[in-house]
Structure 1
Amino acid sequence: MPDETRKRPTQADRSLRTRSALLEAAARGLSRYGYGNLVLEQVAKEAGYTRGALYHQFKDKQDLTQAVAEWVQETWDQEVGHRVEQESDPVAALLTLARGHAVFCRRDIARVAIALRLEFSGQDHPVGRSVEEGYEALITLCTLLIEAGREAESIPPGPPARAVALAFVGALEGTVIALAGHVEHDALLAARTVVGVLGLDPLAVSLP
């Protein structure tokens, strides 16, 4: 007999799956081509749905892209940020962030934030504002962790913490993008990269 306790997917469940698939496909498309060259029909096709299904979820390309920016931030918080918060040591937290970000970007969405920041730089556009908000949240997190590490004397003094945080994120993003497709090395090399930015002695830092 079939398991009567197993519930059939509801319309809400199916809608959520559709939305998630479209968001991830759009994130890959934005990462590869940017906003201006994103073709909604191709996004729908890659996700396994029709263009009509896409327009049922999102009213236009701007609406979809803003949703992607929010989805990337929320997913990053769940998969990376949550693990960072569990680390009590600032250095361990920053290295966990670097490794976790490398793993997160294996989905081929590493260029989303960079592509959109460049495309909307200097423009007062809703998409640009959404991306900048997520970027600023990451910079703020790294700044606070660097300041905490300096207070604990586990991170050496140097340039202002925010400047180091900007270099940390820039170096991490560049490394992850350059290593796309090299899964066996990306997390380790991402961690090694940020160790240098933080001014740490690589021989004194554990990098499994």
Structure 2
Amino acid sequence: MHVRNRESQADRSARTRSALLESAARGLSRYGYSHLKLEQVARDAGYTRGALYHQFEGKQELTLAVLDWIGETWTRQVGPLVERETEPVAALLALARGHAVYCRRTGARVATALRIEFSGQDHPVGHEIERRYEQLVERCRRLIVAGRADGTIAPGPPDRTLALAFVGALDGTVTALADLAPLDELLTARAVAGVLGLDPMAVTESPSP
């Protein structure tokens, strides 16, 4: 009986945490870090401010937890789409499509918004955003290197420069086409195809993951 009670309490705590993270992600997307109100985050999640402070010490810890949550959910949803592709170009296009679909989630664009807000600032949230951004750029760079090695991506700008352009096209198109599903997926794939020197019109519609 005591074990079941402890498990039940753990489950309730996990549900509270998840609801608060989703609410915070929505708030960060709409208002940014500076204007995020923790009381509003708690209220929108259906909890009191005390419940929020039971889970998180403050805005910084909450925001870092949101970034972890986004990273984990992105990896679970988009990662397998990329990994199942055996060819580098197909993997890059799968990443673009998967990212566009993932970004339909409420608050999924928070990382891009925070990167702009914290640009040039010495702040833990800004540092974490940049770390995660560099991980994505490096992942794309490795696929670009592999694509050039097998001849499917033509020689041209340095690998990292092309990876930066790829991620820029990815984020920019997804942001511009917010709430325009299903065209967001197709046009994001075409945008990154163009960056890679491929024929964008050769990218056709496919079922969303």
The answer to whether the 8 Å contact 1:110/1:173 transfers is: no
Alignment: residue pair count = 202
Paired AA for residue 60 in structure 1: G
Q: Distance in 1 between matches of 2:79 and 2:159?
A: 19
Cα offset for 1:11? 1.1
1:101 counterpart residue number? 99
Q: Distance in 1 between matches of 2:109 and 2:202?
A: 32
2:107 is paired with a residue whose SS is coil
The answer to whether the 8 Å contact 2:190/2:201 transfers is: no
Q: Distance in 2 between matches of 1:120 and 1:178?
A: 20
Cα offset for 1:203? 4.7
Contiguous gaps of at least 5 residues in structure 1? 1-6
Which residue, 82, 85, 91 being the options, matches 1:84?
A: 82
Q: Distance in 2 between matches of 1:186 and 1:128?
A: 27
Describe the superposition over 1:67-105 as per-residue Cα deviations: whole angstroms up to 9, x where unpaired: 111111111111112321221111111111111111111
Q: Distance in 1 between matches of 2:128 and 2:201?
A: 39
Please list, as runs of the form range in 1=range in 2, the aligned pairs for 1:155-170 lying within 5 A after superposition: 155-170=153-168
**How does the TM-score come out when normalised to structure 2?**
0.91
The answer to whether the 8 Å contact 1:32/1:111 transfers is: no
Q: Distance in 2 between matches of 1:202 and 1:176?
A: 16
Aligned-residue sequence identity (percent) comes to: 66
Which residue, 110, 113, 116 being the options, matches 1:112?
A: 110
Q: Distance in 2 between matches of 1:81 and 1:192?
A: 20
2:195 counterpart residue number? 197
Q: Distance in 2 between matches of 1:117 and 1:106?
A: 19
Which residue, 166, 175, 178 being the options, matches 1:177?
A: 175
Cα offset for 1:109? 2.2
Paired AA for residue 103 in structure 1: V
Answering whether residue 63 of structure 2 is matched by residue 56 of structure 1, we say no
**How does the TM-score come out when normalised to structure 1?**
0.91
Cα offset for 1:199? 0.5
Describe the superposition over 1:98-121 as per-residue Cα deviations: whole angstroms up to 9, x where unpaired: 111111111132431122112222
2:170 is paired with a residue whose SS is helix
Q: Distance in 2 between matches of 1:188 and 1:51?
A: 41
**Superposition RMSD in Å:** 1.6
